[in-house]
Amino acid sequence: MEVLDSSIANVALPHIAGSLGASQDEATWVLTSYLVSNAVILPASAYLTTFIGRKKFYMICVVMFGISSMLCGLAPSLPILIFCRVLQGAGGGGLAPSEQAILADTFTPKQRGQAFALYGLAVVCAPAIGPSLGGWITDNYNWRWIFFINVPIAILSLFLTNRLVEDPPHIVKEVKEAAKRGLNLDFFGFGLLATGFGSLEFILDKGQEDDWFGSHIITFFTVLCVVSLVTLIIWELYQLKIKNRPILNLTLFKRKTFAIPFVLMFVLGFSLYGTTVLIPQMVQTLLGYTAELAGFVISPGGVCIMLMMPVVGFLIGKVDPRYLISGGFFILASSMMLMHTFSLDSSFKYIMWVRVYQASGLAFLFIPINTISYSGVPQSQNNDVAGLTNLARNIGGSVGTAFVATMLSRGTQRHESHMVRDLTSGNQAFVDQVNHLKGVFGGSAHDANAMIGKGASTAQAYIYQQMHRQSSMLAYLDIISIFCVFCFCMIPVVLAIGKIKPPSGDAPMH
């Protein structure tokens, strides 16, 4: 539900804006506010768990997520809705890291692959079905129900968590030690964390809309983001030096088995969210699909992931994870090569099956990357690993979405300007095409003044319309080419991790 809420409201923005008397641009803050608060809490979740325990922290996050979801649905105005979305993002930001850490501590290394496989169904499928589900709920009921549906799930989660989940011994020990020392929160570090990652999310979400560095606001937040994150790194290293508990455990990056998977998780988020935005937008704007039909194009990919995840969960205990990840990136890159055959004449069936093929590659990435991330990490640092890997996926998704929006807008303009150079009366091919279309649109083929008549004007308008569609299609293919090269380059990075032994042994379960 938490991952779903990052994308389910996208298609409902026009309805939200109209219902609350706001503009479309103002309504986008419903998305931005959630992502900003989510990004702030994600890396800090392990630090907060130290003081109150993981189970209690998780249940607090569920309560906050459920109550704020209900308040979002009841919001009478846009400012109140945005405030409730900030609370919802803060509550949701603590869920994913806690869940992954619970799985890592509960299951033996040999069983983690299958556990992450089941968990991965939700994480990878949610972005794919979010827009379709949001569109269906909005069209058939009301946009407020996209928030109300979280409430019963939150109540059920609270009941099951209370009955089934317990803190492992190392968490209990940490909480007791923190209680002896007293509540000594690192407010300065948390402030730097909130400012740095909050500014980063704001830049990525609003950059294209405000023309990036052509905007003084974007420039200001970029400087603020860089200064905050650099200061945060220095401050966290100082906290380690004086033996205080840092908010971000940067020592994890000394391990190759964590640092490289961190980068791979960023690329996974970049590719997953980027293409999930790209394909529906392409079929809606260029092929005339409805929002519901655009959702059906990518939904079979989610079904494919559901079928493949258990298979990958089984293989992770038998095969070197590096080979699984390399295979996943190869499938992902080759699917981009197939997407390069998309055109304005591509059928629904063809686009759908290419997306299914791409989704099969994504299934080979999420589980092995998560499994390697925990390799050789002490059990007491599982929370830190979960928080940082989820942060990498979320930031990667935001970068991928911003990249697609920017490249699409500027690429379309570039290709269109190249085409316009040839649409002049001095280009005989253009003149012949206009003369050919004049008859279709009602002009006279022998009229000396037909170029300024109704038929010629309509013919030229038709040509310009087709030119714009073609230039947009070329911009989409440019983006797909970059994604393809990016994914191929990840294969040698994966192999640089070094040999990973298949997990074995039966550590005690908590």
Single-letter amino acid, residue 245? R
How crowded is the C-beta side of 502, counted as CA atoms within 13 Å?
12
- pLDDT, position 155: 93
Give the CA distances from residue 418 to residues 158, 408, 433, 466, in Å, rounded to whole numbers and listed in that order. 58, 15, 18, 14
CB 81 within 8 A of CB 471: no
CB 154 within 8 A of CB 392: no
CA pair distance 8, 130, nearest whole angstrom: 4
CA pair distance 63, 200, nearest whole angstrom: 27
CA pair distance 54, 395, nearest whole angstrom: 24
SS (H, E, C) 271-328: HHHHHHHHHHHHHHHCCCCCHHHHHHHHHHHHHHHHHHHHHHHHHCCCCCHHHHHHHH
In this structure, what token pair is assigned to residue 102? 């619970």
**238-242 CB contacts, 8 Å cutoff, 24+ apart:** 239/186, 239/189
**pTM for this predicted structure:** 0.75
CB 319 within 8 A of CB 502: yes
Single-letter amino acid, residue 78? L
**460-464 CB contacts, 8 Å cutoff, 24+ apart:** 460/434, 462/437, 463/423, 463/430, 463/433, 463/434, 463/437, 464/423
CA pair distance 3, 394, nearest whole angstrom: 9
- pLDDT, position 63: 93
> How far is C-alpha 321 from the geometric centre of its chain's CA atoms?
23
In this structure, what token pair is assigned to residue 143? 């946009």
For the chain, the residue count is 510
- pLDDT, position 369: 86
DSSP category for residue 182: -
CA pair distance 431, 507, nearest whole angstrom: 77
- pLDDT, position 411: 79
pLDDT of the chain, 510 residues: tens digit per residue: 887 777 677 667 777 878 888 776 677 777 777 877 887 787 777 777 777 888 888 999 999 999 999 998 898 888 888 889 889 988 888 888 888 888 888 887 777 777 877 787 777 677 667 767 777 787 788 888 888 988 999 999 999 998 888 888 878 887 887 777 766 667 788 788 888 888 887 888 777 777 788 888 888 989 998 998 899 888 888 877 777 777 777 888 888 888 888 888 888 888 877 877 788 778 877 888 776 677 778 778 877 887 888 788 778 778 888 888 888 889 988 988 888 888 888 888 898 898 889 888 888 888 888 888 877 777 777 777 877 888 888 788 878 877 887 887 777 777 777 766 666 666 666 666 666 655 555 544 444 444 444 445 565 566 666 676 777 788 888 888 888 888 888 888 888 776 655 444 444 444
CB 250 within 8 A of CB 376: no
Single-letter amino acid, residue 331? I
- pLDDT, position 505: 42
- pLDDT, position 17: 79
Residue the block writes with tokens 């290709």: 415
The burial class, CB within 10 Å (0-12 / 13-18 / 19+), for 9 is: buried
Q: What are phi and psi of 241, to 5 degrees?
A: -65, -40
